[in-house]
Chain A
């Protein structure tokens, strides 16, 4: 699984979460009923938390399965080797 695909999936999931976050208050306030709208949002907060939790776990699972490389900056001796490789001859 490539990192680009993980980022695309995460972006899509974030977009869905943002739509829920942005849409719910609008729906809740649409009828103008204070407590009724409040209750709708209050019930859906745990749902949104669970969605975020599942998205995070899925991303972690994909990261765990991805081949391991480039997690840290390469050590100095490797950087100098890269410089050597890139030098024109």
Chain B
């Protein structure tokens, strides 16, 4: 359960810091990207875990047949829709926090919005793929 918070955070920090570095962000800006992920990622994953636990946007599939076995909890269409909405929310929140922390003088607000959108898109897609190999 703790791995459900720690693993996504580690993968997200690695991917998003790498993407921010590719955009030319350095030192203080990269430290801000790491910090902003500590703010947004764990609550998002906690919410995702609560939704799965409450079966909101998730369905329980018995993969063991009629004799029992394991019950898989998989996201439905609405689950992925909720995740998409939350990701958009995260992009906006991270953008505003980065603008606040770094200021508009050195890096433009528009560039920070692009950086936030791209690094979150990469971490949402590539990160989900990488995390599929991590045992839950």
**Chain A interface, >50% SS class:** helix
Chain B interface residue count, CB cutoff 8 Å, equals 32
- Contact mask A10-40 → B, CB, 8 Å, 1/0? 1000000000010011000000000000100
Chain A interface residue count, CB cutoff 8 Å, equals 31
Across-interface contacts of A57 in B (CB, < 8 A): 35, 39
CA distance A38 to B1 in the complex (A): 9
A83 at the interface (CB under 8 A from B): no
Once A and B bind, how many residue pairs between them come within 8 Å at the CB atom? 97
A residues with a Cβ closer than 8 A to B are 3, 6-7, 10, 21, 24-25, 38, 41-42, 44-46, 48-49, 52-53, 55-57, 59-60, 63-64, 66, 68-73
Across-interface contacts of B107 in A (CB, < 8 A): 71-72
CA distance A7 to B49 in the complex (A): 30
At the interface with chain A, which of B2-10, B61-69, B123-131? B2-10
